[in-house]
Amino acid sequence: MEIRGCIFDLDGVIVDTAKYHYLAWKRLANTLSFDFSEVHNEQLKGVSRMRSLDIILQLGNVELSEEEKLRLAAEKNQWYLEYILQMDESEILPGVTDFLEELRRKDVRIALGSASKNAQTILEKINLSSSFDVIVDGNMVEKAKPDPEVFIIGAELMRLEPHQCIVFEDAQAGVAAALNAGMYCVGIGEEDVLGNAHIVIPGFQESIFLRLRIS
Ligand code: B16
Ligand code: MG
């Protein structure tokens, strides 16, 4: 396995924006007169905005027109933006900055592969935009994870073949997308959730280079 590029998911890998998605979705559910728990929020990780809304409406047993759904999704995004506009570098998850710098020193190409349409804004707020050679976000893809599109585009823009890339993912849909793309996948989180990934690690640490054989 000769690894030339690394593709990073954003939410749950670089930063923990799931907590802000949760607060904004909960507020939306509450305006529709039902509650939404953090346990339910797990189902939304890595899932697109409109699919997330469908899952929430199903939980609350609410049926709405497409037009109304678009309006609610936009409203939720406004509330979510209020949170992410307050973000700064302190929210980068432990070990990420060192890992990205080490990859740069080793001349490994670096891409972002996120379902979020707010990815560029978040990277700017945490001052990490320049760490990525390529950024693929929810505005650039038609098919959501587990479709491999987001990672295939990432590899193409890095001018690499899928087998030359590692994907770092925290969500089941994202792990499936990476495997569907024919890439090596490192799960970030818990083994019992991300067991389909090639390896699972709790977070970024130095020894990971040895395990991944990036020289
Ligand atoms: P937005 P990722 C995903 O980001 C989140 O995990 C998921 O919860 C969210 O619904 C999705 O982005 C869309 O986000 O509403 O900002 O477009 O994990 O793929 O980086
Ligand atoms: Mg994620």
Q: Tell me, what CATH number does 25's domain have?
A: 1.10.150.240
Please say which residue of 59, 84, 109 terminates a domain. 84
100-150 pLDDT, tens digit per residue, is: 999 999 999 999 999 999 999 999 999 999 999 999 999 999 999 999 999
Higher pLDDT among residues 132 and 42, named by residue: 132
Atom of ligand 1 nearest to the CA of 44: 8
Q: What is the CATH number of the domain that holds 161?
A: 3.40.50.1000
> What is the per-residue pLDDT for 2?
79
Cβ–ligand 1 distance for 115 under 6 Å, the answer yes
Identify the residue with better confidence: 191 or 42. Answer: 191
Q: Is the pLDDT of residue 88 over 90?
A: yes
pLDDT higher than 80, residue 1: no
Complete DSSP assignment for 135-161? EE-TTS-SS-TTSSHHHHHHHHHTT--
Q: Please choose from 114, 128, 140 the residue to mutate so as to test ligand 1's pocket, defined by most ligand atoms within 8 A of CB.
A: 114
Q: Which of 64, 84, 104 lies at the terminal end of a domain, its last residue?
A: 84
Q: State whether 72 and 113 are in the same domain.
A: no
Range of the domain at 38: 18-84
Closest CA to 97 of 14, 154, 170: 14
Express each pLDDT in 181-193 by its tens digit.
Answer: 999 999 999 999 9
Domain count, the chain: 2
pLDDT digits (tens, 9 = 90+) for 48-77: 999 999 999 999 999 999 999 999 999 999
Does the pLDDT value for residue 33 go beyond 90?
yes
183 and 142, same structural domain?
Answer: yes
Q: Which of 33, 52, 84 is the last residue of a domain?
A: 84
pLDDT, residue 211, reads 73
How far is the C-alpha of 192 from the C-alpha of 2, rounded, in Å?
28
Task: Give the contacts of 160 (CB within 8 A, at least 6 positions apart).
Answer: 4, 5, 109
Mind listing the pLDDT tens digit for each residue in 153-185? 999 999 999 999 999 999 999 999 999 999 999
Query: Residue 213 above 70 pLDDT?
Result: no
Any ligand 1 atom below 6 A from CB of 11? yes
Q: Are residues 172 and 193 in the same domain?
A: yes
Taking 90 as the threshold, does the pLDDT of residue 152 lie above it? yes
| Confidence (pTM) | 0.94
9-32 pLDDT tens trace: 999 999 999 999 999 999 999 999
> In terms of pLDDT, which residue wins out, 55 or 208?
55
The more confident residue out of 215 and 141 is 141
The amino acid sitting at 138 is G
Q: Is the CB of 60 under 6 A from ligand 1?
A: no
Q: Where are the alpha helices (DSSP H) in 144-207?
A: 149-157, 172-180, 191-194
Q: Is the pLDDT of residue 209 over 80?
A: no
Same domain, 41 and 130: no
